[in-house]
Structure 1
Amino acid sequence: MNEKENGRDTLLAAAVRLRVEGRPEEARSLLLSLSAAHPTDAEVAYQTAWVHDVLGLEAEAVPFYERCLHGPGLSEEDRRGALLGLGSTHRVLGRYDRAVEVLSAGVEEFPDDGALRAFLAMALFNTGEYHACTRLLLELVAADGQDPYVRQYRKAIEHYARDLWATG
């Protein structure tokens, strides 16, 4: 590892620590500097987007989310987080169709991710897609399997999730 990479790693770790410790303004300052120095670094872009979301600066987070998702360099976990973050951010900004698009792509890429599916359901609700929203939520409830009463009716819930108009 060269000196530049080592410095980047140290500063990125410090910025993440600041965010986790509840000092997002300091983290943001450090991450903006890192982003300027490493404009193609997906991990830096992801952390920069995240801190903007933490600060309620959703519109400023979007380009960083887009940057981190358009190239290699993110772990699978961070890619999931970035897709969820970007989709959720579009939703918060009232860009519901774009939120559905991003979150649908996330669910397609990570079909086992319940958080992506839950946020997609919220965006579908915002676009008036109530049937699709309810179907996703019912599928999540049925898949959870923790509640003994849900487990008892799991097959029925799954059936109605596929066709909410069914009567039996």
Structure 2
Amino acid sequence: MTDLEQAIFLRQAGEHDQARALLLDLIERDSANPAVWYQCAWVHDVMEREREAVLFYRKALELGIAGEDREGAYLGLGSTYRTLGMYADAGAVLEQAMREYPENREFLVFYAMVLHNRKEHDKAMEIVLRQLAETSGDKGIQSYKQAILFYSDKLVEIWE
């Protein structure tokens, strides 16, 4: 098992301090490896050290992390910015992620949270309602899917 695999195992096992120490050491030894930076961001996030996690997410993306880890880095960075109240940065990161991965609905849902934080409630609700109608397997939701979609962008309209 590589040191990176060991660090991931430790994080998954809840041994966050050990995982963090190993990852910080790995950054010193393998600073050009975006996966190390991403895993270091992730462990900081789960340890509620969001401000520190930002640097690691940004570096992983800067170094060109790819595949599912790139998707995770975008989501982690956007979500972390949001929890820090950095809504403009969160929105920008999630918008970039949506451009790169238009099929990934999770970015839309996290973006809706940012919109809510920015008091753009109508747009946030539209996104959430569309995601619900388009992805739910619930029989009741599906029976009203067309109505939910129709009203999703008309929530403040008053009908005569």
The normalised TM-score by structure 2 is 0.92
In the alignment, is the contact (CA less than 8 A) between 2:123 and 2:153 conserved in 1? Answer: no
Q: Deviations over 1:111-155 (max 9, x none)?
A: 222222211111110011111111110111111131111111112
How far 1:161 sits from its partner (Å)?
2.0
In 2, the alpha carbon distance for the partners of 1:145 and 1:52 equals: 32
How far 1:165 sits from its partner (Å)?
4.2
How far 1:38 sits from its partner (Å)?
1.7
Pick aligned residue for 1:11 from 3, 8, 11 = 3
AA in 2 matched with 1:45: W
- The aligned residue for residue 81 of structure 1 is 72
1:53 aligns with 2:45: yes
Q: Which moved more, 1:154-163 or 1:137-146?
A: 154-163
In 2, the alpha carbon distance for the partners of 1:132 and 1:101 equals: 16
In the alignment, is the contact (CA less than 8 A) between 2:112 and 2:124 conserved in 1? Answer: yes
AA in 2 matched with 1:107: M
- The aligned residue for residue 25 of structure 1 is 17
Structure 2: gaps spanning 5 or more residues: none
In the alignment, is the contact (CA less than 8 A) between 1:40 and 1:67 conserved in 2? Answer: no
AA in 2 matched with 1:33: D
1:133 aligns with 2:124: yes
AA in 2 matched with 1:134: M
Pick aligned residue for 2:56 from 59, 64, 67 = 64
In 2, the alpha carbon distance for the partners of 1:61 and 1:145 equals: 33
Residue 102 of structure 2 aligns to a residue whose secondary structure is coil
What is the alpha-carbon root mean square deviation over aligned residues? Answer: 1.7
Structure 1: gaps spanning 5 or more residues: 1-8
In 2, the alpha carbon distance for the partners of 1:151 and 1:133 equals: 21
In 2, the alpha carbon distance for the partners of 1:135 and 1:36 equals: 45
AA in 2 matched with 1:90: Y
In 1, the alpha carbon distance for the partners of 2:65 and 2:88 equals: 27
In the alignment, is the contact (CA less than 8 A) between 1:45 and 1:68 conserved in 2? Answer: yes
Pick aligned residue for 1:108 from 99, 105, 116 = 99
AA in 2 matched with 1:84: L
Identity among equivalent positions (%) equals 39
In 2, the alpha carbon distance for the partners of 1:117 and 1:135 equals: 11
Pick aligned residue for 2:114 from 123, 126, 140 = 123
